[in-house]
């Protein structure tokens, strides 16, 4: 089955005006926050064609304040034969109720399933208790009406036909047929503030988010159901941007995805240890675009035309932790493939659910070369064989790089770097300075983050909070939501 196009979305959100609204009412005290993040599937799977096929299919569709830090403990294992997405536990409303939401670095709003939802699952095959959000059940919740300033700012003016008490609606339409529609509400978000080494206390903030009244496609599936999606994109509608505008956190976050033991680290705030080198984010782009300058295989720079590295409409390089695999333009894919297998001309490939797979009895790290992506400002991303191959049982390995030309016309010229190549690295997204960086790191260890209120640094530990699940992953196909989400009126 050929992979479908990268997942495109239409978010009818003019986000710049929202930031102005938030800044107008924002307090300037800040605190650290913690969200417990889990993989959508638990660690410990052994492989399976059905799970790989489902992963590939869904992966292709998604394509002046004093501030402290936040920690999102992770769970899961980032291999195609095991898991896909990370999710976290948050609390909304008064009294607070628990919701499990996917953490997605490529989308820009928080939404949860609403009590009025027509197709929202009541049960999850992940072994989670799902909760439908009820605006009337929260003493701090309120519906955003279309004549309120938030709605007018979001849509760039008063909506035609708007009358008082009519809800301000949102709609997200995905290229694979999945969809979520509903209306905006404002309510209290509870998160854990970091107060010391491994210590937290509850913190609160008022956020505006979507109350999903109807879900379509995969979002209505009970097997892989969650309560919603938590966007960590850089648009001003994201929860991160809202918390930063309210003076609760700094607009900097980092993740370290552990494919050795599972879980990892997710923190909001300045990372002071380890230090990372950075490269500029391409300005005015809806995703985390960076300037890729060259690719090396085994120390030799590939002879590639300059146009494959140019950033533009439907071109360029995107860092996307919401995608599992890596997608390369066809020319780049062919050159990388040739260089990787140059010393293994005798290897016979066979197709496993449209993955290139092969038998190999030795250590892939000993037998195959390192691939290095070189970016602006002399930042390199070194990808080792165990990060671009993944095992599928019985000395069978499959290639985690995909030919972008097989995805869609829209994605064929994009370099998309997903979880496999970002794993076992601390990746820092510094939106305050518009840079992104990384370093190889032991994601089962800890990092240091700075509390700007006190000047102190605190330890944020790794977590694998899904490790105790009693769940048989192989009963359900792997679900991946790729984060090609447009943040403006036109994708």
Burial of 305 (0-12, 13-18, 19+ CB in 10 A): exposed
CB atoms within 10 A of CB 148: 18
Cβ 429 vs Cβ 70: under 8 Å: no
Check residue 486 and give its pLDDT.
25
By mean pLDDT, which of 19-28, 336-345, 474-483 is the weakest? 474-483
Number of H helices, E strands in the chain: 8, 33
The closest of 164, 144, 165, 142 to 155, measured between CA atoms, is: 144
CB atoms within 10 A of CB 467: 17
Catalytic positions are 104, 320
Going by C-beta distance under 8 Å and a sequence separation of 6 or more, which residues neighbour residue 383? Answer: 370, 371, 372, 373, 421
In order of 29, 35, 198, the CA distances from 72 in angstroms are 21, 4, 12
Cβ 253 vs Cβ 266: under 8 Å: yes
- Beta pairing, strands 97-104 & 199-216: unpaired
CA distance 306 to 375: 13
- For the record, the structure tokens of 191 come out as 């998160």
Query: Which three-class secondary structure state does DSSP give residue 402?
Result: strand
The string of pLDDT tens digits covering residues 185-227 is 999 998 877 778 877 777 788 999 999 999 887 777 766 688 9
DSSP tag of 404 = G
By mean pLDDT, which of 7-11, 196-200, 298-302, 411-415 is the weakest? 7-11
Query: Which three-class secondary structure state does DSSP give residue 351?
Result: strand
Cβ 100 vs Cβ 120: under 8 Å: no
Mean of all residue pLDDT scores within the chain: 77
Going by C-beta distance under 8 Å and a sequence separation of 6 or more, which residues neighbour residue 390? Answer: 79, 80, 81, 397, 398, 400, 420
**Tokens 């005006």 sit at which residue?**
17
The closest of 101, 100, 93 to 129, measured between CA atoms, is: 100
Residue 357 pLDDT greater than 90, yes or no: yes
Check residue 70 and give its pLDDT.
58
The percent of residues in the chain predicted with pLDDT above 90, rounded, is 40
Going by C-beta distance under 8 Å and a sequence separation of 6 or more, which residues neighbour residue 129? Answer: none
């Amino acid at each position: 089955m050929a992979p479908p196009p990268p997942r495109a979305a239409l978010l009818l959100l003019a986000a710049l005006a929202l930031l102005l609204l938030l800044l107008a009412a924002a307090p300037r005290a800040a605190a650290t926050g913690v969200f417990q993040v889990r993989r959508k599937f638990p660690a410990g799977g052994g492989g399976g064609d059905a799970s790989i096929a489902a992963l590939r299919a869904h992966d292709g569709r998604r394509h002046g304040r004093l501030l402290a830090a936040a920690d999102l403990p992770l769970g899961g294992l980032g291999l195609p034969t095991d898991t896909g997405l990370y999710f976290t536990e948050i609390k909304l409303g008064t009294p607070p109720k628990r919701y499990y939401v996917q953490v997605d670095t490529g989308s820009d709003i928080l939404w949860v399933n609403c009590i009025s939802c027509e197709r929202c699952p009541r049960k999850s095959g992940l072994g989670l208790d799902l909760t439908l959000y009820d605006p009337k059940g929260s003493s701090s919740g309120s519906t955003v009406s279309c004549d309120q300033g938030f709605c007018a700012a979001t849509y760039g003016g008063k909506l035609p036909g708007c009358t008082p008490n009519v809800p301000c609606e949102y709609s997200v339409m995905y290229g694979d047929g999945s969809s979520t529609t509903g209306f905006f509400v404002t309510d209290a978000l509870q998160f854990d503030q970091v107060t010391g080494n491994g210590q937290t206390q509850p913190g609160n903030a008022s956020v505006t988010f979507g109350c999903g009244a109807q879900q379509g496609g995969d979002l209505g599936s009970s097997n892989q159901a969650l309560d919603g999606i938590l966007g960590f994109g850089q648009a001003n509608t994201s929860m991160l941007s809202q918390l930063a505008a309210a003076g609760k956190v700094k607009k900097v976050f980092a993740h370290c995805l552990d494919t050795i033991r599972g879980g990892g680290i997710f923190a909001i705030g300045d990372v002071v240890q380890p230090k990372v080198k950075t490269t500029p984010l391409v300005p005015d782009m809806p995703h985390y675009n960076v300037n890729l300058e060259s690719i090396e295989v085994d120390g030799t720079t590939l002879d590639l035309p300059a146009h494959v590295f140019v950033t533009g409409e439907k071109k360029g390089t995107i860092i996307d932790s919401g995608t599992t695999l890596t997608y390369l333009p066809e020319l780049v894919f062919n050159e990388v493939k040739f260089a990787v297998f140059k010393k293994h001309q005798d290897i016979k490939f066979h197709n496993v659910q449209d993955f290139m797979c092969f038998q190999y009895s030795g250590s892939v790290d000993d037998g195959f070369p390192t691939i290095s992506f070189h970016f602006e400002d002399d930042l390199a991303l070194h990808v080792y064989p165990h990060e671009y191959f993944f095992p599928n049982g019985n000395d069978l390995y499959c290639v985690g790089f995909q030919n972008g030309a097989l995805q869609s016309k829209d994605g064929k010229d994009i370099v998309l770097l997903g979880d496999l190549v970002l794993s076992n690295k601390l990746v820092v997204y510094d939106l305050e300075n518009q840079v992104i960086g990384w370093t190889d790191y032991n994601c089962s260890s800890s990092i240091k983050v700075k509390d700007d209120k006190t000047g102190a640094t605190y330890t944020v530990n790794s977590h694998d909070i899904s490790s105790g699940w009693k769940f048989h992953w192989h009963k359900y196909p792997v679900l991946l939501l790729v984060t090609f989400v447009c943040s403006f009126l036109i994708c």
